[in-house]
Amino acid sequence: MDDLQSMFDLVLHDGLMEFKKIGSRASLPKQTIVKRESSHNKKGSIFVTRSKEDLHTSSGVKGYILTSKESVVEDGNQLSHWTPNIFNYGTYTNHRRNYIKGHVETNLQQINTFVVDIDSKKQPYTEILTAALDQSIGAPTLILETPKGFQAYFVLDKPLFISSKNDFRGLKVAKRISENIKRSLAKVLQGVDLSCNDFGFFRIPKEDNVRWFSKEMTFDFGSLIEWSRRQDDGHGRGLFVVQDHKAIHDVTQQEWFQELLAAKHVRGNQGQIGRDNLLFTLALACYSAGKEENETYNLLDELNSSLHASLKHSEVRKIIKSAYKGRFKGAHSTYIQQLLEEWGSGKPITIHSNPNGWHKFKKARKDRKRSHYEEWETDILAYISQQTNISSPVTWATQKQICEEINIPRSTFNEVVRKSSKIMMKTEGKGCKAQTGLTSVAVLLQCALAFNQAHRATYTATIRLMMQEFDNTPAIESLDYIVQTIQKAVIPRVDNLFTLNST
């Protein structure tokens, strides 16, 4: 219970009241002191459900609203899902007060954590740890096991407070960071859900589903912005910037959107742009405007029901899910024009064809003369990952061969390895025939967590080898910290076999 209390405190920060207003088990003096000490912090609400099925009922989300940490701790074991990020308020949609609303992004008070949903158990949670360490922002704060996979929490050291100023610019930046975290993990892990709602419902920590927890592993939002900017840089896009005051931010308020929303006679004959294209185009517009997927479904399901020849509800849901996968950033002007010509009223309508106006594009990496240090580090880590495994965690070659393979200048290679807390290097021999051995914290962590005695022996021998080089100290300390943290993790507990001091 103490561990769960620690998790809830870490994730929720000070976003909820400490104690219930009515029926608290805390003494009155304690309630008074805590209330006085936290009076300067705004308090919000979270939403919870008792089962996954309650998230998708015909009447909406079935659940209730909590406003105190005390309630979260008391009810936790009876709950399945929660919103770990805090909302300004929540309300009920019926008199019985068992259906909830208000869990929309524009109602967010603060973002506490990024969560990645992984719908696969083809890889153990330890691979999620090493993948996040090697390919993403670092080891997660918390990993929960779900019936179909895992959920990884990356908790901020301080919450990001959301404001409507500048068209929710902070929220948009946070969504981009969330997207980049998912994409970085999807490169190396199976089952990463790229379309999962960034700040919606996730599994709640319980005594029987926590597989990893480290209260020290929290993340600075400013550092995440820099990391995300580098990810965008490699894909020819940048973080959100505030658009010119004349720009139209929400395309769903444009005339063309309202015109198509009013169309009732749309069909889908062969060779004719029709219902599917209409719904997909409108769904893309909602996606680019930052609307929740459920909000879009409610809007377009109502439109579909009003059509003279409507689609099945399941088809509408499928179209919206496709639009929200993130492959397209907004509706294309060509399709908008065709739909208006085919099904519009015929009146002239101006189309603002740049739904991505808040993107700032930068040069792609191949077009820049210099790459960022972190990009080179990622390239070296990728090389190590390709050349090694837990049976052979060190790859050996000449530096010339390694640098040619990675396409990196030798001076840059040595500088990156020297500064890195993820890479270890050992050189044997002299001159042009000298052999350079490379390994990484992620590779050795997999050795440490293996239940094969031979792998454990390989781990120990490799550590002894790498400790001969002083420049490897930061990476060895990083590995030591992670292994020691795993030994103290809630579930499962790893045997104390890898104390580095003994080597």
Q: What pLDDT was estimated at residue 499?
A: 39
Domains identified in the chain, total number: 3
At 44, the pLDDT band (50, 70, 90 cuts) reads very high
Range 223-230 average pLDDT: 88
357 Cβ partners below 8 Å, 6+ apart? 243, 247
Question: Do 177 and 202 fall within a single domain?
Answer: yes
Q: Two tokens at 34?
A: 């805590």
Q: What is the pLDDT of residues 391-404, one digit of tens each?
A: 889 999 999 999 99
At 327, the pLDDT band (50, 70, 90 cuts) reads low
Range 460-477 average pLDDT: 89
Question: Do 159 and 107 fall within a single domain?
Answer: yes
Question: Do 33 and 124 fall within a single domain?
Answer: yes
The answer on pLDDT for 163 being more than 50 is: yes
**Is residue 239 domain-resident?**
no
Q: What is the DSSP string of 367-378?
A: G-SS--HHHHHH
Q: Is the dihedral of CA 198, 199, 201, 206 positive or negative?
A: positive
* CATH code of the domain in which 486 resides: 1.10.10.10
DSSP-H helix ranges across 69-135: 69-75, 125-135
The answer on pLDDT for 389 being more than 60 is: yes
The answer on pLDDT for 454 being more than 80 is: no
Alpha-carbon span 156 to 438, nearest angstrom? 32
Alpha-carbon span 63 to 53, nearest angstrom? 11
Question: Do 230 and 255 fall within a single domain?
Answer: no
β-bridge mates for residue 212, sequence order: 143
**Is residue 261 domain-resident?**
yes
Instruction: Name the domain boundary from 306, 324, 343.
Output: 343
Question: Do 68 and 191 fall within a single domain?
Answer: yes
**SS3 state of residue 159:** strand
426 Cβ partners below 8 Å, 6+ apart? 394, 436, 437, 465, 466, 468, 469, 472
Q: What is the pLDDT of residues 228-266, one digit of tens each?
A: 888 876 555 545 443 333 334 578 888 889 989 988 888
Question: Do 181 and 306 fall within a single domain?
Answer: no
What is the domain extent for residue 257? 251-343
Give the angle 310-312-318 at the CA atoms, nearest 5°.
115
Least trusted range by pLDDT, from 257-266, 323-332, 365-374, 485-494: 485-494
**Is residue 402 domain-resident?**
yes
**Is residue 242 domain-resident?**
no
Q: What is the DSSP string of 241-289?
A: -PPPTTS---GGGSHHHHHHHT-------TTS--HHHHHHHHHHHHHHT
Question: Do 256 and 374 fall within a single domain?
Answer: no
- Could you write out the three-class secondary structure of 329-353? CCCCHHHHHHHHHHHCCCCCCCCCC
Question: Do 399 and 474 fall within a single domain?
Answer: yes
Closest of 135, 195, 238 to residue 327, by C-alpha: 195
Q: In what order do the strands lie in the sheet with 150-161?
A: 86-87, 108-118, 150-161, 142-145, 210-213
**SS3 state of residue 100:** strand
**Is residue 241 domain-resident?**
no
**Is residue 348 domain-resident?**
no
Least trusted range by pLDDT, from 123-137, 143-157, 163-177, 352-366: 352-366
Question: Do 419 and 467 fall within a single domain?
Answer: yes
Closest of 177, 171, 161, 183 to residue 219, by C-alpha: 177
**Is residue 355 domain-resident?**
no
Range 333-342 average pLDDT: 82
Q: Average model confidence (pLDDT) for the chain?
A: 82
Q: What pLDDT was estimated at residue 292?
A: 83
* CB 472 within 8 Å of CB 425: yes
Q: Two tokens at 387?
A: 């050349």
Phi, psi of 359 (to 5 degrees): -90, 140
Q: Is the dihedral of CA 446, 449, 455, 460 positive or negative?
A: positive
Which residue reads 């419902």 in tokens?
201
Which has more pLDDT, 121 or 450? 121
Alpha-carbon span 348 to 352, nearest angstrom? 13
194 vs 83, 120, 168, 228, 304, CA distance in Å?
18, 13, 22, 16, 26
Length of the chain counted residue by residue: 503
The answer on pLDDT for 186 being more than 50 is: yes
Alpha-carbon span 467 to 165, nearest angstrom? 51
**Is residue 294 domain-resident?**
yes
Q: What type of residue is 258?
A: Q
Q: What is the pLDDT of residues 267-296, one digit of tens each?
A: 766 556 788 889 989 998 888 888 888 889
Range 6-21 average pLDDT: 88
Alpha-carbon span 305 to 300, nearest angstrom? 8
* CB 424 within 8 Å of CB 475: yes
Question: Do 31 and 174 fall within a single domain?
Answer: yes
Which residue reads 């390895």 in tokens?
417
Question: Do 48 and 191 fall within a single domain?
Answer: yes
**SS3 state of residue 414:** helix
The answer on pLDDT for 8 being more than 90 is: yes
For the chain, the farthest-separated pair of C-alpha atoms sits apart, in whole angstroms, at 81
Alpha-carbon span 282 to 277, nearest angstrom? 8
β-bridge mates for residue 395, sequence order: 438
Q: Two tokens at 348?
A: 């002239």
Question: Do 130 and 72 fall within a single domain?
Answer: yes
Q: What is the pLDDT of residues 52-105, one digit of tens each?
A: 999 989 889 999 999 999 999 999 899 999 999 999 999 999 999 999 999 999
Which has more pLDDT, 243 or 380? 380
Q: Two tokens at 299?
A: 């809007």
Q: What is the pLDDT of residues 422-442, one digit of tens each?
A: 899 999 998 888 999 999 988
